Structure 1
Amino acid sequence: MRTTEHNINTLVMIKSIYQSLTKAEQKAADFVLANADETIYSSVTLLAEKARVGETSIIRFCRKLGFKGFQDFKLSIAQDLVNPTEQVHGQIQETDSIETICKKITSHNVSALNDTTNLLSKKELMKATEALINARKIYFFGLGSSGITATDAKYRFMRLGFNADCATDAHIMAMNASLVNKEDVVVGISSSGSTKDLVESVKVAKDNGAHIIALTNHAKSPVTLLGDTVLVAASKETPFHGGAFASKIAQIHVLDLLSTTIGMHNKELSFHAIEKTAKAVVDKLF
């Protein structure tokens, strides 16, 4: 029996934790992802032989995914194949037309959103909602591309009436982290979950008592170890496409789900705040 939520797609979870697996476990993951149909009919010995790893590596791989054993893992894979997730229709080729490229990228992004919905823990989403509603102040931390996501999040939550701020500079982030307390919430945003400056600042904030929400595209990463709440967005990367935009779209999708859920739970405050902020900029438009 699985220890994680039953509705999370196992094949999506494998992709999410892939970077945290050992080399032997990654070989097992590669085989399963490429041969899901064959996997459900294999014994642990046969799968180990086909993946060219030891049986113990297969068992460890299953346990890292949250399963008690190999049979539970196979059953979950079989259930996933009954209702498979949307697949990307091939990698982009130099010979593809503009129309084909548009269709492939759209399919790629839609797949990232669908995978995120399957991967996202609804229990963790509710925990994050409650923590944010009760926060004295909300800080969004992010560096590089994730810093842009943090800025977007600050803007959205400010318009909902929350005392929200963001830090996209490592020094400012470190100083903010040193000043938070148990009444504050810090949302650490990192696609890799391994950005050193961000992880260090999140740790300082946690040590000061702040509730930590980790938003990342990798379920097993340093920032998730610090999270009181962990929100995982899907990571859809291909060699040609790079995956940066798809990963960001997945993160924005999670923030959209989170802010909408909060808005519905906090209707009066949110309505008045949106109305006030809209009026504040009405004369800025032609």
Structure 2
Amino acid sequence: MRETDQNINTLVMIKSIYLSLSKAEQKVAEYVLANADETIYSSVTLLAEKAGVGETSVIRFCRKLGFKGFQEFKLSIAQDLVNPAEQVHGEIQESDSAETICQKITSYNINALNNTTSLLSVNALSKATEAFIKARKIYFFGIGSSGITAGDAKYRFMRLGFHADSATDAHIMAMNASLVTKEDVVMGISSSGSTKDLVEAIQIAKENGAHIIALTNHAKSPITLSADTVLLAAAKETPFQGGAFSSKIAQIHVLDLLSTLIAMRDHEKSFKAIEKTAKSVVGKLF
């Protein structure tokens, strides 16, 4: 059986690890993504020929996805195609009406949420839940748009009664990381998983014994190398799309799932904290 979580959509996982693959493996990935329905009927030799690589590259590709061999990989692809997760939305054109643009963006965002849900490992969510519940303090680190998400996370978990903090400045992150202990949790939030200042702060926190959780779009990226737990969001960005709302929606979705699971684990404590924090600001509203 597959060595990774069985609920993960294989086609989505291929997109997630694409940048970490060798050139030959990327050729296999490209062929499979473009011809998934043909792949399930191919032999390893035929697939290698179609992708223009050797058979060993196909086998290595399958193993990087967590499969023992090619047949197990094909079975998983076939299962994914029973209920396709992809939404057909197309590219936005200048000639599109406001209604069409709304439909396309809505479809794209729904697709990001569905793919994120299919990509998330239940085991990873459970592990993160346990780490948060046991934590003395929780830190959320992020740069740029992901820094805004870190602030949202701090607010949400503070309302649930956690001693939470967030940092978006490289120096503040590094100083916080230098002071953490094995009783703390640090979540690094990065769509690319390759933001240098964030990765360096995470490495410092890891050296000091904190439990590291990475929330990223890329299963194989610098931030995941130091992570004890990896939570994957499926939305992708090109260099021209930094801070895309679809990526933020996917990040918030993961945090919403995580915070809800945590709240349900100790609903009495969570309710009391929500009640206390709500009363603390009631005088601030008209």
| TM-score class normalised by the smaller sequence | over 0.9
- Structure 1 distance, partners of 2:241, 2:208, is 40
- For 2:196, the aligned partner's letter is K
- Structure 2 distance, partners of 1:240, 1:103, is 22
Counterpart secondary structure, 1:214: strand
Q: Could you tell me the percent identity over the aligned residues?
A: 81
- Structure 2 distance, partners of 1:165, 1:275, is 20
- Structure 2 distance, partners of 1:85, 1:242, is 24
Aligned residues: 286
Instruction: Identify if the C-alpha distance between structure 1 residues 57 and 176 changes in structure 2 by more than 3 Å, giving closer, same or farther.
Output: same
* Residue 224 (structure 1) aligns with: 224
Q: 1:243: how far off?
A: 7.6
CA deviation string 1:220-261 (max 9, x = no partner): 111112111111111244799778211111111000000011
Q: Does 1:254 align with 2:241?
A: no
- Structure 1 distance, partners of 2:269, 2:243, is 37
Instruction: Identify if the C-alpha distance between structure 1 residues 194 and 102 changes in structure 2 by more than 3 Å, giving closer, same or farther.
Output: same
- Structure 2 distance, partners of 1:114, 1:233, is 10
- Whether the 8 Å contact between 1:235 and 1:243 is mirrored in structure 2 is no
Counterpart secondary structure, 1:193: coil
CA deviation string 1:28-73 (max 9, x = no partner): 1111111100111111111112112222221111111111111111
- Whether the 8 Å contact between 2:145 and 2:243 is mirrored in structure 1 is no
- For 1:92, the aligned partner's letter is I
- Structure 2 distance, partners of 1:242, 1:49, is 36
Instruction: Identify if the C-alpha distance between structure 1 residues 176 and 243 changes in structure 2 by more than 3 Å, giving closer, same or farther.
Output: closer
- For 1:106, the aligned partner's letter is T
* Residue pairs, 1:91-106, within 5 angstroms: 91-106=91-106
* Residue 196 (structure 2) aligns with: 196
- For 2:111, the aligned partner's letter is S
- Structure 2 distance, partners of 1:53, 1:100, is 41
* Residue 60 (structure 2) aligns with: 60
CA deviation string 1:144-199 (max 9, x = no partner): 11100100000000011100000100000000000000111101111111111111
Instruction: Identify if the C-alpha distance between structure 1 residues 36 and 248 changes in structure 2 by more than 3 Å, giving closer, same or farther.
Output: same
- Whether the 8 Å contact between 2:192 and 2:216 is mirrored in structure 1 is yes
* Residue 285 (structure 1) aligns with: 285
Larger deviation, residues 190-199 vs 168-177:
190-199
* Residue 123 (structure 1) aligns with: 123
CA deviation string 1:72-111 (max 9, x = no partner): 1111101110111132321222222111111111111111
Unaligned runs of 5+ in 1: none
Unaligned runs of 5+ in 2: none
- For 1:207, the aligned partner's letter is E
- For 1:11, the aligned partner's letter is L
* Residue pairs, 1:42-121, within 5 angstroms: 42-121=42-121
Instruction: Identify if the C-alpha distance between structure 1 residues 241 and 211 changes in structure 2 by more than 3 Å, giving closer, same or farther.
Output: closer
Counterpart secondary structure, 1:140: strand
TM-score with structure 1 setting the length = 0.96
